[in-house]
């Protein structure tokens, strides 16, 4: 067995090889992290797209509850029971929605008929 000089044995891998290997490992790690991030974003967007018919009504309901809660609190402070305050706000809001729909739908139908007859 040939004897090797300690200086020669410890010079491999040399500094350039170590730096090149470290750069390659860093690049591979960066690509793996980027692929995981892109996959997570794509998976999240797919799940949200699939759940869109469920999430939109829940979000609208949450926003309405957040906006109408102070009105219910004000009515309960004035002496109404919470259940009565809820029903009052519920009926008032739905009445407003029906009135708004009536005010929008009736002219829209009239304009649609006018457009259909004209063209």
Joined tokens for residue 87: 């029903």
Are 82 and 76 in contact, with CB atoms under 8 Å apart? yes
Comparison of pLDDT for 11 and 102, the residue scoring more: 102
Cα–Cα distance, 32 to 112 (Å, whole number): 56
In the structure, what pLDDT confidence band is assigned to residue 3 with cuts at 50, 70 and 90? low
The separation between the first and the last C-alpha atoms of the chain, rounded to the nearest angstrom, is 102
Cα–Cα distance, 1 to 9 (Å, whole number): 14
**Residue pLDDT, tens place only, 21-46:** 999 999 999 999 999 999 999 999 99
């Amino acid at each position: 067995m040939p004897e090797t000089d300690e200086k020669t044995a410890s010079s491999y891998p040399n500094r350039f090889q170590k730096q090149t290997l470290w750069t390659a490992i860093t690049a591979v790690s960066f690509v793996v992290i980027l692929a995981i991030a892109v996959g997570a974003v794509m998976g999240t967007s797919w799940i949200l797209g699939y759940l869109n018919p469920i999430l939109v009504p829940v979000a609208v309901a949450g926003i309405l509850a957040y906006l109408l809660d102070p009105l219910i609190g004000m009515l309960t402070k004035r002496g109404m029971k919470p259940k009565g305050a809820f029903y009052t706000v519920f009926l008032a809001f739905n009445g407003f929605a029906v009135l708004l729909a009536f005010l929008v739908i009736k002219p829209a139908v009239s304009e649609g008929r006018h457009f259909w007859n004209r063209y």
